[in-house]
Amino acid sequence: MKMRIAFASLLAFVLATPAAVLATSVKHMNIDELAGNADKIFRGTVISIQPGTVEAGGAELHTVTYTLKVEDAFKGDFLIAKDDVKLAKITMITDPKSPDESNGLVRLGVFRDVPKLKVGDVYLLFTSAESRIGLSTTVGLGQGCFDINGSMALNRAGNLGLFQGATVQGPSKGALPYADLADRIRAVLAAQ
């Protein structure tokens, strides 16, 4: 019975999410491709994290919904809260078991590449459009999730090849000032 539920969950996940999410190795994307494939691009601070589930293909998938206060909006529509504060909500698929619940075992597969965010931390995110069941993720998984540390920005791929073949130039790897990255994003969006 557990095996059938696991198979149904995997099948529902396959049908409900973009193909890039399923790969343990995703296609490398430069800043042009990240921006072109993103429904939303924004810098924000995580203000809440809510676990949940969604029904798909007769199975229940575990999700996590991140709510972020948007501080810098580049692309997309955002929720407007009290006092004209912009909010973004992203519901992503998640591993049903935390590392504590899996007896210390490292769980491999699709969940290891889905970025996990923390309340209070600041991120620059390139996010996909919601699927028909309300799921979204960062474009290129870790490539579309930039951790903002002080004034520096670094995606989960180490910014490796971020500007390779792009319309704007920048360093081939490593953190760069957020202000410089923001200017390059605006230039890319203006050229699209």
Say if CB 36 and CB 87 are below 8 A apart. no
DSSP secondary structure code for residue 171 in this structure: -
Q: How many other C-beta atoms are found inside a 10 Å radius of the C-beta of residue 154?
A: 20
Give me the pLDDT at residue 10, please.
Answer: 44
Q: CB-based contacts of 36: which residues, under 8 Å, 6+ apart?
A: 192
Give me the pLDDT at residue 12, please.
Answer: 45
Render each residue's pLDDT in the chain as its tens digit; 192 residues: 444 444 444 444 444 444 444 445 678 899 999 999 999 999 999 999 999 999 888 888 889 999 999 999 999 999 988 888 999 999 998 876 654 444 443 444 445 567 899 999 999 999 999 999 999 999 998 999 999 999 999 999 999 999 999 999 999 899 999 999 999 999 999 998
Which uninterrupted H or E stretch holds 155?
Answer: strand 152-155
Give me the pLDDT at residue 172, please.
Answer: 87
Give me the pLDDT at residue 36, please.
Answer: 96
Radius of gyration of the chain (CA): 17
**Based on the number of CB atoms within 10 Å of its own CB, is 140 exposed (0-12), middle (13-18) or buried (19 or more)?**
buried
Give me the phi and psi of 108, to 5 degrees please: -100, 170
Q: How many other C-beta atoms are found inside a 10 Å radius of the C-beta of residue 25?
A: 6
Give me the pLDDT at residue 113, please.
Answer: 65
In angstroms, the CA 68 to CA 19 distance is: 25
